[in-house]
Amino acid sequence: MAVNVSVPTILRTHTGGEKSVEASGSTVAEVIEDLESRHSGIKGRLVKDGSLHRFINVYVNDEDVRFAGGLAAAVQDGDNVTILPAVAGGRESHPVR
Amino acid sequence: MLRIRRDLVDAMVEHARRDHPDEACGVLAGPVGSERPERFIEMTNAERSPNFYRFDSMEDIRLERELDSRDEQRVVIYHSHTATEAYPSRTDVNIAGYPEAHYVLISTRDPDVHELRSYRIIDGEVTEEPVEVVESYMFSHTGADDVPDLP
């Protein structure tokens, strides 16, 4: 399954600055492996301990894959995969300042 | 430096006050490459917590599409701290994923006087920047096409 992947600014160091790249796979996991084969290092930014990184959101046709099986979510030919960094934060008990 | 129109500052502070003691969060959108915040977009804090914030993931992708279609980007990403100072926490810094954005922090720890400060967070480094509040962008040399600069 050939898909188009939108890459956020922060990950474009792995794609030579490209914001849109092609990939193939039947699941999100396979698409990420395929991306890694051509854009080395990107997988480590997306996957941690066998699942999607906590602060990365991946969408297939604008649906959050966490509601469709996460890395196991299915991907069809022509789908649009979008990667967005999660926007989040919070205070810790011992703040930096 | 972040140059920002007063009504946008007021909107962010009002949002932070309204959601206190939960952290409030949102975006100021502006034309791609302009560094000019124009449009206030309040976002839901999916954590609804006094200690943590997170954009709802589906609201976030809808925001992204809207920005795409309008040729805009997230110029400012703001959130509030409700009991601590308006400085990014280590958690804020670790998660910050938009090196191109200005991260605005608002503290509502004092019921009468808010703090508002702005930062760039790039590769884990925090750099504070001055905030200039303007009544309008007219005559501010911001390069807006429809606004003439003073001679």
Give tens-digit pLDDT for B72-101.
999 999 999 999 999 999 999 999 999 999
| Residue A91 in domain | no
Q: Does A17 touch chain B (CB under 8 A)?
A: no
Per-residue model confidence (pLDDT) at position A94: 39
Q: What is the pLDDT of residue B143?
A: 57
Is A8 an 8 Å CB contact of chain B? yes
Res. B147: pLDDT tops 70: no
Domain extents in chain B: 2-134
A89/B60 CB distance under 8 A: no
Fold of B2-134: Cytidine Deaminase; domain 2 (3.40.140)
> Is A45 part of any domain?
yes
For the cut 90, the answer to whether the pLDDT of residue B134 exceeds it is yes
Preferred mutation among B57, B103, B125 to probe A, highest tally of A CBs within 10 A: B57
Reading the block at residue A38, the tokens are: 């051509």
pLDDT of the residue at A95: 40
% pLDDT > 70, chain B: 92
B141 Cβ under 8 Å from any chain A Cβ: no
Number of domains comprising chain A: 1
Banded model confidence at residue A91, pLDDT cuts 50, 70, 90:
confident
Instruction: Note the pLDDT of residue A97.
Output: 40
Q: Spell out the long-range contacts of B126-131 with Cβ–Cβ below 8 A and sequence spacing 24 or more.
A: B126/B88, B126/B93, B129/B1, B129/B2, B129/B102, B130/B1, B130/B2, B131/B1, B131/B2, B131/B4, B131/B104
Q: With CB atoms and an 8 Å threshold, state whether A64 touches B83.
A: no
Find residues 58-87 of chain A whose CB sits inside 8 Å of chain B.
59, 62, 64, 66, 82, 84-87
pLDDT of residue B48: 86
Q: What is the DSSP string of chain A?
A: -EEEEE--GGGGGGTTT-SEEEEE-SBHHHHHHHHHHHSTTHHHHHEETTEE-TTEEEEETTEEGGGTTGGG-B--TT-EEEEEE--EEE--SS---
| CATH code of residue A6 | 3.10.20.30
Q: What is the pLDDT, as a whole number, of residue B148?
A: 58
Mean pLDDT of the A32-59 span = 97
ipTM confidence score: 0.91
- Structure tokens given for A87: 């926007």
Q: Does the pLDDT value for residue A96 go beyond 50?
A: no
Determine the pLDDT at residue B73. Answer: 98
B10-31 pLDDT per residue, tens = 999 999 999 999 999 999 999 9
Put simply, the chain B residues between 2 and 41 with a CB less than 8 A from any chain A CB are 23, 25
| Strand B72-81 to A47-48 pairing | unpaired
Handedness of CA A97, B5, B6, B9 (dihedral sign): negative
Tokens of A35: 């991306």
Structure tokens at B25: 């969060």
CB atoms within 10 A of CB B135: 10
Residue A48 reports pLDDT greater than 70 = yes
Spell out which residues of chain A touch residue B104, defining contact as CB-CB under 8 Å.
none
Q: What is the count of residue pairs from A and B with beta carbons less than 8 Å apart?
A: 93
Confirm whether A93 is domain-assigned.
no
B58 three-state secondary structure: helix
B138: confidence class by pLDDT, cuts 50, 70, 90: confident
Q: Please, is B89 exposed, middle or buried when counting C-beta atoms within 10 Å of its C-beta (0-12, 13-18, 19+)?
A: buried
What average pLDDT does range B44-48 have in this prediction?
93
Q: Specify the pairing of strand A47-48 against strand B102-107.
A: unpaired
For B36, list phi and psi in degrees, rounded to 5: -115, 105
Place of tokens 């760039």: B120
- Whether residue B21 is preceded by a cis peptide bond, meaning omega within 30 degrees of 0, is yes
Residues 41-100 of B with CB under 8 A from A: 43, 47, 49, 51-55, 57-58, 60-62, 64-65, 77, 79, 81, 83-85, 87-93, 95-100
Domain of residue A73, residue span: 2-85
CB A5 within 8 A of CB A21: yes
Q: Residue B84 and residue A89: Cβ atoms within 8 Å?
A: no
**B14 vs B143: which has the higher pLDDT:** B14
